[in-house]
Structure formats: structure tokens, C-alpha cells
Structure 1
Amino acid sequence: MKRETCKVLVIGAGPGGYVCAIRAGQLGLDTIVVEEKTPGGTCLNVGCIPSKALIHAAEEFHIATRFAAPNDLGITASAPEIDLGQTMAWKDGIVKRLTGGVGGLLKKAKVRTVYGRANLIDGKTVDVDSPDGPVRISAENIVIATGSRPQAIPTLPFGGDILSSTEALSLTRVPGRLSIVGGGYIGLEIGTAMAKLGAKVTVVEAASRILPQYDADLTRPVLKRLEHLGVTVLADARADGHSDGVLTVTTAEGQTAIPSDKNLVTVGRAPVTDGFGLEGLGLTMTGRFVDVDAQCRTSMQGVYAIGDVTGDPMLAHRAMAQGTLVAEVIAGESRSWDKRAIPAVCFTDPEIVTVGSLPDGSTNQAVAMFPFAGNGRAMTLGRDDGFVRVVFDKTTELVTGIQAVGVGVSEMAGEFALALEMAATVTDIAETIHAHPTLGETVQEAALKGLGRALHI
């Protein structure tokens, strides 16, 4: 058995793991990262990046389809067609470039990469079943960054025509009829894209409405757009099973049969905490997640955990921030988790961004909203649905939350998060000059409205 030693051993080269390894390497720490498949993890290989590529291609196709009919812009085009196999090849090319880039960054930081399945022997030792034979790695510090996997449900086990998001992002043909079980952001992102590509989409959601983690004001424009795209949404519904091309669903009205060529199950993600010996360490757990402190330390000295295995929110950018923190902690820097805000983006149509607190009806909370219908840039883009909303304290004017729903609002997430991290007041935002004409003006306009000084509404 080949033997290696290092200061830092990272298990998993997803967004959290590879960022942790790169930062550790930059800090001069002897670092090894173990990855079973390809650098980049779920996000880069079968999640964030592939889904956004599909969303973009679907939107382009949808626009071309619209131009094949009479339209306000006066553009005439022939009826478009799409070769989804070619689209997926283009997507795969992007993924390959990015994964190659990650590999290059790891090498630049002098991080050693060992490919294969890791198995924890104890809190200092990991065995890897690599293509070149078994490797035993002894490390002073171990970072668990194994991520998460799609959550299955007993009535619809993955396989055949029952797809997880991974398989859905590799389809080479647009399904004629697609049922989506789970009306969260993953299902709606893929479902919206498929509807734009021509699939007949039905969404089955157990809660009373789609995207239940957001308030109804934010989700209403998304629901309206789904209806416009011909997507059927069944709320308060349960998927009972699939057989012979039919999905059986129970609603308040009783049981119904939905013809489905493919069925996408998106009911959440489960942390990957099994299959690599983690249970043998006896770490303190919070439910199914690894319990960590403000420095991402687990209950065992020298063992850290970052990303999806540590709980919600399961977001790549949270994992990256945790990875940076852990590398700096191991290097001896005084660091702890002190983030005021983590933006969350739902790439539906229209997009949703939330940062910080939502309106809760408390007496000292103020809420100001400005609609995109009052924004010139939104009008010139042909999409003025949605709004920007600022939540702040009535007494101190401290901004505690910012949300938006609209086309392209994902690019505002950084401004929203920065405002909260810098402890901005509503006056700070109102007095910040925003470029005209831009969608970002709505942030300033919402703040002005909160101060009773609205100009364009």
C-alpha cells in the first residue's frame, strides 16, 4: 500500500472542498484532496452549472419560437428546432472547461489530488481505493466535504423513467410529457426550461403552493409565468407511484392519473454521510448533519466539516466560504463564522433572490417595495413583472433583508448581501446613486419609498 502524509486532507473536491484545498495551499499548508470522480462536485458537474446552461438554451429557444409568430418587436423568424443532444454536448463542454480549470488551480496552489473513494480509518487516517492501487494517507487535519445527493422517495425510486436532477440534466431528447414531483427550486428550474423546450409539464407539490420556503408575494409572479408557459401545478398533492407511463397522484379531489413519459423527483437533497466510514468516528450529529462550531470544527479534534454535510442552507457559495474559513483556521488565523447574510437565488422565470429576513409582521419592521413596472430598463427588456423589496427596522433604519423577483435579478444578489454585511441603513441605499437605466435602480427606489420619498411611483 502506498503511503502519503499531509497537513490537511480534504475529502471531496466540490465547491467547498476544492476552495478549502486551494486556500490551504496558498497558505503554505501541505494539502491533499481526495475526489472519487471529477473536481467541482455536484454543483459544477451535475447541478448549478449544467442547469444554468440548460436554462439559457431553453430561454434562447423560447425567444426564437416567439419570433416565429407575430410580435411587438417586429422580428420575423422561421419556426425553430432544437437538437437537445447538441445542447447537452455544449453544456458538457462548459463543464469540462471548468473542471479542468479547477484542476489547474489545485496544481497552482501545490495541492496534490488523489482520485478514488475515501474510507476513514480514524480521525487522522484515510484509505483511498485509487485507480493505481490502495493509498493510505495520514493527516494532521481532515476536512469532510462530501456534499449531498438527490433525496429519493419510496413510491418513486430512481431508475428508468424516474429521474433525479442528475439524469434530467443529461437528457438528449425533450420528453413529450414531464411530471415533476416537488415544487422547489430544482424542480421548477428544470421544469420551466423543459416547458420552454416544448414539453408538457406537470408539477406535483405536497405543500399548499410552490416554493413554500418563500412568501406568496415572491412566488406569485413565478406561478403566473408557469401558467403562461402551459405548466400545470397541482398543490396539496401526493405522488403515489408510476406505472405504464402514468403517474398516480392524490389531491384533495381524489386520485388522478397523469400521463408521463419522464418523471423528475426533486424533493430535496440528503447529506452524504455514509459510505466512507464517517460513522466510525462517532461525531456529534444534528439530525442527519454533522454538527460544527463557528470554526467548522466537529466534536473530534482535528476533524472539520463544511458544505452540505453541515446542514442548511445547502448552497455552493456557503460551502466555499466555509472552506476558506477552515483553511485559515488550520493555518493559525483567528477566524470564525460571522456572516450576516447568505444570498439564495432561485433561477426560475422570473428569478427570485432573498437575503436576510423576510417580512414577518412585527411592529418594528418596515417593508418597502418597488415594482419593475415602474422601471424603464425592465420595460425595454419586455419583462416588467416582479419587484424589489427592502425590509428594515423602523427605529434604526437598519436593513435586515432584501428580496426581489424579476428577470435577471440574480445579478443583484451581491448588492443585497453587501448591504447587509456592511450594516447599511435604508438611507444609505437611498442616497447611493444607481446608474440609469438599470434594473438596479429599483433597489434605490424601494429604499426611497421606505423613507416616504418615492419618485417614480
Structure 2
Amino acid sequence: MSIKTDVLVIGGGPGGYVAAIKLLQLGKKVLVVDRDKLGGECLNYGCIPSKALIAAANNDHKSKKPAPGAGVSEIDWEKVVAWKGEMIGGFGKNIAALIKGNKGDILIGAASITSPHTAVVEKSGGGTETVEFEQAIVAVGSQALSIPGFDIDGANVLGSKESLDLARVPHAMVVIGGGVIGLEIGTIFAKLGSKVTVVEFLDAVLPVIEKDMAVPVVRNLAKLGVDVFTSSKAKSWSKKGKRLEVVAATPEGEKRIVCDKILVAVGRAPRTKGLGLEKLGVELDDHGHILVDTEMLTSVDNIYAIGDAVGPPYLAHKASREAVLAAQSIAGKPLEPRGHVPWAVFTDPEISWVGLTDEQAKAEGFHTVVGKFPFAASGRAQAVGETSGFCKVVADKETHRILGAGFTGPHASDLIGEACLAVSACVTLEQVAATIHPHPTLNEAFAEACEAALGHPLHTLAVKRAAPSFAS
């Protein structure tokens, strides 16, 4: 006998479970099928565990301020990893409780769609179930990529998932890939005393981020004793006694780097193979991303897709927002546009941004004005000893509408929320500057940056601009 439901949600991550809850609230019967654990990559192997380890590493680093090369931290790593696991397990149970509390159903297993209205689930405990549905949402997420010669084996060569569950802190680690994931994880282990070496193929780390925003991070990597090789390629690795040796081609010639673990962090790809999508006529791009419209509907009129499966940016909050759009579309409710997707990088210092960069705004035809406020001029930043970085605002020179904004500095990920609202609501520089921000706080930097863009900063000296012309 088959299971009958209104909506089948394939994937229980931040896209899938949010879609399920919203659909249940809108009166639909929903079955969530996940191949592993509720919460997806984000909760179990990515966002949450990495931030937990970042917090542990930060606390240990601040308490000891070890010099580069001082040796591996004496932090009780086993307890840290156990605490992380307990926290993740608790969140997973909470997600299950939310779905069940809203009268939804959950099935653990691998689903494949066999027709526009049926799917087969190979249950994790054995056996299969046939599911009949009216609509389906594909929310299967993404997986780590590897590179030739560096297949992820979980013992010597690690993906991000394996690196966050190590039994002990390695004495040395080579990170292949100087993007967001590589630098976040590399920073964790550098703060815990590992000798970290980053090998990046492009000419800069964090290559998709504006250079001025990334500079404070690059400087701090050097302070942590991290060696960074850009315009470089990891060619091979081999065992060297009880350790490993990575051979890398760099602009200075071949380097042989001895380490204990190798982290491959060269990007991610959608996990869309084996779902039966092509047989249904669901259109995919050359990279395996599912093509969707603004309502997250695929080329098959009852199949929706959200999150990493539809393309970058691979961010949990993007997936959650798309989940709501898909649910509202299925329920026949009016939709708001998805809007700008903010991002945050949990390096040291953190970086965040929402909206258009100055370069992007100019490419779209805007005449821009930019304001900056350094955290070195912030009383709160000075008080807590975290003064690296700044807030940056990009606005339309004629209307003063804020087009984009971001932070490099302490708690940048927490500060971006106000900027998100400002960009989405078409707020002006004057409106933010006129809004009282509590003192002393880090988010005063946003108002100060807006004042700077207007040409009259309060706590920094004005930067002279050629022929300024501001609308009254």
C-alpha cells in the first residue's frame, strides 16, 4: 500500500523542513523524506558545527593569545566535539518535533521520483515505500567537490564534513582552496595551534569578495601563522612516515609541505543525480542545477525545487526563503519577491554583505557614493579589543537610496540584519543616519558609515570628494 500525501518534500535541510512547516501551516498534508538526518548539511555537517568549533577556538585563543608556532592547544577537544554532537542532536530532535507538531510525517530514506505523481523511497532500515503526491519539492542540497589526486577518504584527505569531526587537533594541516569554507576551517585549527597552509589556485584568497573587505582577514591569517600560497596548485600527496606530504606548484617553484591532514575545500555541487529528474523532463543546467522560475517551479508543472539544488549562492537562509516561496505558490498564496540574499563569512574578522557592491552598482548604471567607518573609531570595538575592519555603505548619489552595505569586523554576521532591511526597503542614507543607534554598540558603525557617505561623518574626518553633489 502506498503513502498518499499532498506534498512530498525531498530533503529535510533548511530548505526542506521550512517548506514542510509552511505548507502544514497553510493546510497541506506533507511527507518529508531525508536520506540522512533532519537539518541537512547545514545542521549536521556545515553551518552549525563549524560555528560551534569557531566559538570554541575563539574562546581558547582569546584566553591564551598563543604565539604562532607555540604548539597545539591543550583544549579538551574530545569534550568540545562531544558538546557539538549533543547540540546538533538536540536541534535535529527539535526539527522533528516541529514537523510532527504541525501534523507532518517524516520518512528517512533515499527518494527517487518515478512519475509526475509518484516516488519510491528506499528506507534506511531496509525495504521500500511508494509515495503518491500532488506536488513535490526537491530540496536535496549540495555536496563537496574533490579534485584529481585528492579523493576524499575521510582519514587523510578530508572534506569539510570530516574536518569538523576529527578526533584530535592535527599538528599541521594543508587547506586546498582559499574560499569561505577553507578559510573558516583553517582559522579554527590555526587558533588551536595547528600549522595551517592554504593553497589557492586563483590570485587571491576569498576571490569573490571585494579586496578591501578581505584585507583584514588576510592580515590576521598572517598573524595566526598561516602560510598562504596563491596562484598555486596542489599536485599530489603521499604518505611520509606517519605524516603526509603535499606537493604544490607555486609562483616561487615547487613546494613540499608536510602535514597530518589535508582539507579539500574547492567548492560544492548540487546533489541532483539519481532522483529521476531527467526522465520526468525536469530541465537542469550543465552543472546539474535544477532550472526554476520565480515561484521555484521547474519545467514540470507540479515539481518545485529550492536551495542548493537550484544554484548558488549555497546558503541556508536562501534555501529557507525559497522554501516559503514554493510553499506559498503551492498553496495559491500571493508571493513577495525573493529579494537580495545576504552572506556572511565566519573568518577572523568576520565579513558580511547585502545588495550591490560599488562595482556592481556602477555596472548597473548607478552613480554611486561610498561611506566607510572603521571599527578602530568605535568605542565598543575598542572596549572589547576587536578593532579590525570597517562598515561600508554604497548608495545612489542622486537619491541616496542604499544599494548595498556590509561589514568586515567583529560580529559582522550579526550586524548585517539592519543593512538587509535598509536595502530591501529602499531606505536612504539620511533615514539611517537619523535613526538613533544605542551607544556604545558595534551597530553604530552603520549609521556612521551613512554619515560618511553624506560627507559629514561625526567620529572620523571627512574624505574630500571631487565635485560632490547631493540631493537635498
Partner of 1:354: 353
Partner of 1:193: 188
Distance 1:83 1:264 in 2: 22
- How far 1:253 moved relative to its partner? 2.1
Query: Residues 106-160 of structure 1, C-alpha deviation per residue, up to 9 Å, x if partnerless?
Result: 0011111111111211121110111262110010001000000001111211113
Is 1:118 the counterpart of 2:121? The answer is no
**389, 414, 419: which one aligns with 2:392:** 389
- How far 1:342 moved relative to its partner? 1.1
Instruction: Map 1:86-235 to 2 at 5 A.
Output: 86-130=79-123, 131=125, 133-159=127-153, 160-235=155-230
Partner of 2:372: 369
Distance 1:303 1:80 in 2: 50
- How far 1:275 moved relative to its partner? 2.3
Query: Residues 8-49 of structure 1, C-alpha deviation per residue, up to 9 Å, x if partnerless?
Result: 000000100000001111111011110111100000000000
Q: Quick one: which amino acid aligns to residue 148 of structure 1?
A: S
Identity of aligned residues (%): 41
The answer (yes or no) to whether the contact 1:85–1:171 under 8 Å persists in 2 is: no
The answer (yes or no) to whether the contact 1:340–1:420 under 8 Å persists in 2 is: no
- How far 1:328 moved relative to its partner? 1.2
Distance 1:311 1:431 in 2: 38
- How far 1:52 moved relative to its partner? 0.2
Distance 1:208 1:132 in 2: 49
Distance 1:184 1:347 in 2: 11
- How far 1:279 moved relative to its partner? 2.6
Is 1:292 the counterpart of 2:292? The answer is yes
Deviates more, 1:294-303 or 1:352-361: 352-361
> 3-state SS of the aligned residue for 2:358?
coil
The answer (yes or no) to whether the contact 1:390–1:446 under 8 Å persists in 2 is: yes
Distance 2:254 2:109 in 1: 46
Q: Which residues of structure 2 form unaligned runs of 5+?
A: 461-472
Q: Quick one: which amino acid aligns to residue 420 of structure 1?
A: V
Deviates more, 1:270-279 or 1:403-412: 270-279
Distance 1:339 1:272 in 2: 23
> 3-state SS of the aligned residue for 1:286?
coil
Deviates more, 1:362-371 or 1:316-325: 362-371
Q: Quick one: which amino acid aligns to residue 141 of structure 1?
A: Q
Is 1:25 the counterpart of 2:36? The answer is no
Distance 2:306 2:372 in 1: 36
> 3-state SS of the aligned residue for 1:396?
coil
- How far 1:276 moved relative to its partner? 2.5
Distance 1:38 1:198 in 2: 32
> 3-state SS of the aligned residue for 1:115?
strand
Distance 1:134 1:385 in 2: 55
Distance 1:319 1:435 in 2: 32
Distance 1:279 1:45 in 2: 29
The answer (yes or no) to whether the contact 2:195–2:225 under 8 Å persists in 1 is: yes
- How far 1:339 moved relative to its partner? 3.1
Query: Residues 320-373 of structure 1, C-alpha deviation per residue, up to 9 Å, x if partnerless?
Result: 01111111111111225x133211000000000011111218371111101001
Query: Residues 186-239 of structure 1, C-alpha deviation per residue, up to 9 Å, x if partnerless?
Result: 111110010011100000111111100101101100000000010001111101
- How far 1:290 moved relative to its partner? 0.5
Q: Which residues of structure 1 form unaligned runs of 5+?
A: 70-78
Instruction: Map 1:258-273 to 2 at 5 A.
Output: 258-273=257-272
The answer (yes or no) to whether the contact 1:367–1:450 under 8 Å persists in 2 is: yes
Distance 2:255 2:105 in 1: 55
- How far 1:409 moved relative to its partner? 1.4
The answer (yes or no) to whether the contact 1:118–1:127 under 8 Å persists in 2 is: yes
- How far 1:80 moved relative to its partner? 6.6
TM-score by structure 1 length? 0.95
Partner of 1:62: 61
The answer (yes or no) to whether the contact 2:342–2:355 under 8 Å persists in 1 is: yes
Deviates more, 1:269-278 or 1:367-376: 269-278
Instruction: Map 1:370-449 to 2 at 5 A.
Output: 370-449=373-452
Distance 1:50 1:151 in 2: 19
Distance 1:39 1:175 in 2: 30
Instruction: Identify if the C-alpha distance between structure 1 residues 318 and 267 changes in structure 2 by more than 3 Å, giving closer, same or farther.
Output: same
Q: Quick one: which amino acid aligns to residue 328 of structure 2?
A: E
Partner of 1:38: 37
The answer (yes or no) to whether the contact 2:438–2:444 under 8 Å persists in 1 is: yes
The answer (yes or no) to whether the contact 1:164–1:265 under 8 Å persists in 2 is: yes
Distance 1:152 1:132 in 2: 30
Partner of 1:72: none
The answer (yes or no) to whether the contact 1:64–1:80 under 8 Å persists in 2 is: no
- How far 1:315 moved relative to its partner? 0.5
Runs of 4+ in 1 over 6 A off after TM superposition: none
Aligned residue pairs: how many? 445
Distance 1:152 1:280 in 2: 27
Deviates more, 1:424-433 or 1:275-284: 275-284
> 3-state SS of the aligned residue for 2:130?
strand
Query: Residues 68-126 of structure 1, C-alpha deviation per residue, up to 9 Å, x if partnerless?
Result: 89xxxxxxxxx972121211100001101100100000001111111111121112111
> 3-state SS of the aligned residue for 2:15?
helix
Distance 2:56 2:219 in 1: 22
Distance 2:161 2:142 in 1: 12
- How far 1:282 moved relative to its partner? 2.5
Distance 1:340 1:399 in 2: 14
The answer (yes or no) to whether the contact 2:325–2:338 under 8 Å persists in 1 is: no
Distance 1:123 1:238 in 2: 45
Partner of 1:84: 77
The answer (yes or no) to whether the contact 1:4–1:135 under 8 Å persists in 2 is: yes
What value does the CA root-mean-square deviation take over the aligned residues? 1.4
Q: Quick one: which amino acid aligns to residue 338 of structure 2?
A: K
> 3-state SS of the aligned residue for 2:452?
helix
